[in-house]
A = this chain, B = another copy of it.
Amino acid sequence: MTSDVAIVAIGLTKFGKRDDVSYRELLGDSVRNAFLDSGEITPQDIEGLYVASAQPEPLVDQAHVANLATEYLGIYPKLVSRIEMACSSGGTAIRHAMIAIKSGMVDTVLCVGVEKMNEHPGVAFRNLCIVPDVTWESAHGMTAPGGFALMAQLHMKKYGTTREQMALVGVKSKKYGSMNPNAHYGKPVTLEDVLNARMIAWPLGLLDCSGISDGAAAAILTRADLAKKFTDSPIMILGSGQALEPANISANMKSLTEWDALRRAADTAYKMAGKTPQDIDVAEVHDCFTISEIIETEELGFCKKGEGGKMIEEGQTEVGGTIPLNISGGLISKGHPIGATGITQAVDVILQLRGDAGKRQVEGAEVGLTQNLSGFASHHVVHIYSV
């Protein structure tokens, strides 16, 4: 059983500090690029619209952004919502678009993810702090870097993962980010650069962290049997999985190093797709921090538990390795405009599956995976795509 849903058009904007455009222009630019990507889709074809945006109210002083999107795009579909799941809003939107098409209520759905985080200095940092449970976590000082630093420390203790292995994830990220013209942080760095960068929350330094970016990404989904109307190179959604687990690090999360929800989300997606981790040729995973990519390498089944650090050290997650990860540059280099991130992951995997990834191409890639998380890894959305 697959989803019987295909992605037939994709669009991106440049990620970065985008003082040159407004929130709605960013959103519109990614959608325009998606329409241009196909060339065969008209606004009238769009029957559903999901806008993935995490915090436009504090970040750009605008609420009701799905309504704003219809107005700005001049598209008024019969199924519309903003989808918000913090850092995994984009992946969640794609899952909902797929489900809406499967319901038979709509044939073609536009997903657009957008965030403009640099409009008011300091506001993004403040508002990232209200993503965890404010009463039980944030109010006691638990921030995102702090939470993932605890995970890193425990992973080091339990599995012998080293500071250098994490830093290598940062080096790889910037290496591929430097080949991605849309990336926010495109300058290559050395291992020493990462190790000597300003400490944020030990062991994570500045170059172990994703940044505060502006950007947008769009994808248009349709029924598999209609896909050839819109493009010669449709990409199928083979599998989709979503799972949550108790979120509060202070009390409830089962383990900081074994991510139960990710295992379940991945398991669901693999089963639905009829694929195993060994079938995956390329993946975009949620490297909000370098340690995240290491844990995800393990939980997605690309290596044994505890060997994620060894995988990066051996170059297995590079182009030419057993499972190239974040060849777009990932969140750390490409940037992490919250609502856009999950949709960008799909776009970057699809570029690989189409053979359109340029200098970053993984030769012969036919099956790809995306993994988008939110909270302290309490929520995951995994998708599997193929040509």
Q: How far is the CA of A211 from the CA of B146 in the complex (A)?
A: 40
Counting contact residues on chain A (CB < 8 A from B), the size range is: 35 or more
Say yes or no: B85 contacts A85, CB within 8 Å.
Answer: no
**A77 — nearest CB in chain B belongs to which residue?**
B244
Q: How far is the CA of A25 from the CA of B70 in the complex (A)?
A: 34
State which residues 317-367 of A face B: CB under 8 Å: none
Residue of B55, B57, B58, B243 touching A78 (CB-CB under 8 A): B243
Judge if A33 is at the interface, Cβ distance under 8 Å.
no
The 8 A CB mask of A244-277 against B (1 = contact, 0 = none) is 1111100010000000010000001000000000
Say yes or no: B79 contacts A242, CB within 8 Å.
Answer: yes
**A52 — nearest CB in chain B belongs to which residue?**
B81
- In the complex, what residues of B have CB within 8 A of residue A95's CB? 79
- In the complex, what residues of B have CB within 8 A of residue A196's CB? none
Say yes or no: A96 contacts B81, CB within 8 Å.
Answer: yes
Q: How far is the CA of A243 from the CA of B81 in the complex (A)?
A: 11
State which residues 198-243 of A face B: CB under 8 Å: 241-243
Residue of B70, B131, B135 touching A244 (CB-CB under 8 A): B70
Judge if A67 is at the interface, Cβ distance under 8 Å.
yes
Q: Contacts A57-B127, A62-B130 known; list 5 others, CB within 8 Å.
A: A24-B135, A61-B130, A64-B375, A68-B133, A70-B244
Segment touching B, from A102-110, A180-188, A298-306:
A102-110
Say yes or no: B102 contacts A63, CB within 8 Å.
Answer: no
